[in-house]
Amino acid sequence: MPELPEVEAARRALEEHCAGKRIRRCVVADDSKVIDGVSPSVFESSLTGKTILAAHRKGKNLWLQFDSPPFPCFQFGMAGAVYIKGVAVTNYKRAVVSEEWPSKYSKVFVELEDGLEFSFTDKRRFAKVRLLEAPTAVPPISELGPDALTEPMQVDEFVGSLSKKKIAIKALLLDQSFISGIGNWIADEVLYQARIHPLQPAASLSKESCHSLHRCIKEVIEKALEVGADSSQYPKNWIFHSREKKPGKAFVDGKKIDFITAGGRTSAYVPELQKLTGAQSGKAAAQAKRKKIKPEEKSDHEEESDSEEEEFLAKTKLKNSKAKTVRNMEQIENDSDEEQPQKLAKGKTKQKVKVEKRSSSQVNTKPKKAQK
């Protein structure tokens, strides 16, 4: 899935080729799952005639700055991608679409005044495209932690932060409120290169391991960007190239790769190099054994549910479900409040009827004459 390097490559291409140009035409897909909270017609009219001033990114989110708001914001999901006609942007497996232009998977198509065209596509429909007045002031961007590339923690701050976290280091790296931009493949890569087990509790890492991890995050992201986030050009000794293989058939530098679940994600690591250490190692090792993924259990990479967006959607669905439950409870209470006076009135009516019947019975009943 697109992570920080892929989204940054898209941002750089958009800024290089589109900044300073006016939008002549815009076509937005009628897909409410991706186009969030606004109709295609409103989206199109909001973009047409605007001038693109810059392209911005934080974490895995990208947005365009115009000469006036609102601004289009793109959350890439599992297969979101930016294509500029005639310009090589980036190359990663899930972004590949057909040669037709614009693609049938296009969600936002833009034609600029000089004839240049670009499109945001999403084959799997996990992306989110929004129209926002102030992108950095509202979720999801407002909830993100420091960007791993543009706002890196100083090493001492990084060490101090890790020392306070008891959760597994892989889960922490995936937490976008801690550091934004690191997804599943970057987390696996930096942990492999730093020789740290994915389930190692963050607080138990030595100072040397923290320094090594800090350095590897910087190096992996910068190296990926050096080649324009073209995954085929990543160094051959990266674990990245074997993450999609089946257990038992995955190796890096001749060493076996195992797969476990860490941070809710399928995680690739090399047991020979990435060992659990410290007092918690026994407990974590048992946990790793339970979470080890067997060959028949590991699905193809295309079908893995290993994106933060899926988790975000699940949380959103749960949140909406809770809100609906609260609304239903409030409605029940309101209905109850409205029914209560009706019940009381109904009870009084019944009581009145009974009293009237008794009164009528007493009036109409005459004493029988005594028999002689």
Catalytic residue annotation: 2-3, 60
Exposure string (b/e) for 127-162, b if CB count within 10 Å is 16 or more? Answer: bbbbbbeebeeeebbeebbbbbbeebbeeeebbebb
Tokens coding 139: 């979720």
Give the DSSP per-residue string, 179-242: SBS--HHHHHHHHHHTT--TTSBGGG--HHHHHHHHHHHHHHHHHHHHTTT-GGGS-TTSGGGG
Exposure string (b/e) for 317-338, b if CB count within 10 Å is 16 or more? Answer: eeeeeeeeeeeeeeeeeeeeee
CA-wise closest residue to 174 among 105, 56, 241, 264: 264
Query: How buried is residue 351: exposed, middle or buried, by Cβ count under 10 Å (0-12/13-18/19+)?
Result: exposed
Q: Which amino acid is at 326?
A: V
Rounded distance, CA 91 to CA 89, Å? 7
What are the helix and strand counts (H, E) for the chain?
8, 12
Residue 267: strand pairing partners: 260
Maximum CA pair distance of the chain?
A: 125
Residue 108: strand pairing partners: 28, 120
